[in-house]
Structure 1
Amino acid sequence: MAATLALSGSRSGHSGRAARLGKPPRRCHRGTVTTIEAVLGDITAETTDAIVNAANSSLLGGGGVDGAIHAAAGPRLLEACRRVRRTAWRDGLPVGEAVATEAFDLPCRWVIHTVGPNAHRGQTDPALLASCFTRSLDVAAELTATSIAFPAISAGAYGWAADDVARIAVDAVRRHPKPGITAIRFVLFGTPALEAFGRALT
């Protein structure tokens, strides 16, 4: 059973038991309650409408979350990403931008690919990281998704501290209007990241 920290409201597509943090519900412009929560789990098993892939600019797969999502989605995801490169982003997806593909063998409907800033390459502007979350929500809204799951973009191999990622991510999704989105979930790989997001959500 996944460990869960939640703001408020009901959840979809997850069996973990929520520990309420006492914050009021966040509301989008359409007046629906948006639940924001953090869970310990496997993002490839999420049944939210969309999951977010921490991709690299090539969109051709990699390690970590990117590799796990490509492996679980099957080879058609790579071909879809190649089509995106041929038609929309010939020079690669820029840092902070987002684009969607079908999810293929994953249980969700869409994969939204975004490229996080790499602190090891001097990409330390918080606005770049915030853009990964806001642009992913923009794309989710365009798809009419009602729920979305994020990993801890740029934490770990890209050198950002989990507490910084959590603070920027939570602030970005709270500020976004989130039209039509009723559930936002941060799906985290380890306890330190879960604790960091728990602090950011309180």
Structure 2
Amino acid sequence: MSKGMLIVLSGPSGVGKGTVRQELTRRDKGQFVYSVSMTTRKMRPKEVDGVDYFFSTVDEFQQAIKNDQMLEYNQYVGNYYGTPRKYVEDTINQGKDIFLEIDVGGAMQVKEKMPEGVFIFLTPPDLKSLRGRITQRGTDSAAVIDRRMEQAINEINLMKEYDYAVVNDVVSKAADRIETIIESEHLKVERIIQDYLKVSGVQNDYKANN
């Protein structure tokens, strides 16, 4: 059975990562599994452990960090959030693609541990439009917006660490581009050659000559 792929989508705050992911979910082609994060925050009504999050205690989460069982993690408002390595690896070994939507810092953590993943940077058409999106939220002061923009510029400078860059000008088009990337990645020779050689019965010859 062929292994699945790890697909990581990230980009600066306000670029629309969640909106693009929702569009991909709406299409629901069964193309990939969305990663379930682990958190130490309390479970809310109607949330299901293992579906919305893997809920854990602080001690359990810290032990997972110590044992290198987290692909990435951070703290927000006093709680830990992160991506369990085993869940991702098990999904890939089952032949399924797994999709992570995370911030740039988290993506860089994941790349250190699983560089074979497909890393996609979602970028705004320009900085002016990004500022407009952040401002339209109406939740931040001018000073906070300025800090967010400064951080966004620093994150955009990390685009070179990714495999692909997708401009989020129109959500549906951005989702189209991501689907095309995933389809193309599945056709790469290094992803299919071993399975092809097994079927063809020439795997031993290939290994001997390489």
Same fold (TM over 0.5): no
TM-score (norm 1): 0.33
Structure number with larger C-alpha Rg: 2
Q: Which has the higher helix share?
A: 2
